[in-house]
Amino acid sequence: MNTDFLTRFDPLAGTVVGYPVVERRLSQLAGVFADTAVYRQTLAQSDPLIYSVASVTLAEGDGQLHYGVGKIMPGRIGQEYFMTRGHLHEWREAAEIYIGLSGSGLMLLEDEKTGESKVLELGVNTAVYVPAFTAHRTINIGDTPLTYIGIYPARAGHDYGALAEQNFRQVVIAQDGKPVLLDRQTFRLDQS
């Protein structure tokens, strides 16, 4: 039996046997969270792990697939939940499928062309289809780590630059213990 294409992942640890885990700590996420004052205050005390990704890249080229196992820790920066930086694919036509493994999360999708936002549930036994030309960010709204798999074309690539200049237009924040989608500008004005 050919086992070259077999990998084993741990759905709770968010790891893949034999593959490195790339960690993203708070200090690496400047400009990502809306409440910059709380971001700075938190960082002055500690530099918590926000999320990690283990990427499996067995084959390259057109028609091939890659996958990643992500893990987002529970927590918030102010009212905003711990989440990924978010990205577009360098090859904009590339779609992606996310499958929830453990925990309770959301995906924030933003159409690059229209600016329209969508929030979809990402949890156990759910799969979220991220269409082409769509920025995507994953958010942990639970009290335990959120883990998931993302499967995408090998040539998709990651483009973080476009979102570094202009963050997602909407924020997902905790209000009365529940996630609420708000316009970023409105949320920022309310805080100042």
**Site residues, Fe ion (CB under 5 A):** 96
**Structural contact between residues 39 and 25, judged by C-beta atoms closer than 8 angstroms:** no
In the bound state with Fe ion, the residue whose beta carbon lies nearer, of 168 and 187, is 168
In the bound state with Fe ion, the residue whose beta carbon lies nearer, of 80 and 96, is 96
The nearest distance, CB 16 to Fe ion, in angstroms, is 17
In the bound state with Fe ion, the residue whose beta carbon lies nearer, of 35 and 96, is 96
Residue with the CB atom nearest Fe ion in the bound state: 96
Q: Could you give the CA distance from residue 28 to residue 139 in angstroms, rounded to a whole number?
A: 17
The nearest distance, CB 86 to Fe ion, in angstroms, is 9
Structure tokens at 60: 């390259």
DSSP 116-144: -EEEEEEEBT-EEEE-TTEEEEEEE-SSS
The nearest distance, CB 33 to Fe ion, in angstroms, is 20
The nearest distance, CB 152 to Fe ion, in angstroms, is 5
Report the 10 Å Cβ neighbour count for 67.
20
The nearest distance, CB 88 to Fe ion, in angstroms, is 8
In the bound state with Fe ion, the residue whose beta carbon lies nearer, of 68 and 78, is 68
In the bound state with Fe ion, the residue whose beta carbon lies nearer, of 96 and 110, is 96
Closest CA to 98 of 152, 163, 17: 152
**Structural contact between residues 122 and 191, judged by C-beta atoms closer than 8 angstroms:** no
* Contact partners, residue 106, CB within 8 Å, separation at least 6: 119, 120, 121, 122, 138, 139, 141, 172, 179
The nearest distance, CB 185 to Fe ion, in angstroms, is 26
In the bound state with Fe ion, the residue whose beta carbon lies nearer, of 149 and 173, is 149
Residue with tokens 């996958």: 67
**Structural contact between residues 140 and 82, judged by C-beta atoms closer than 8 angstroms:** yes
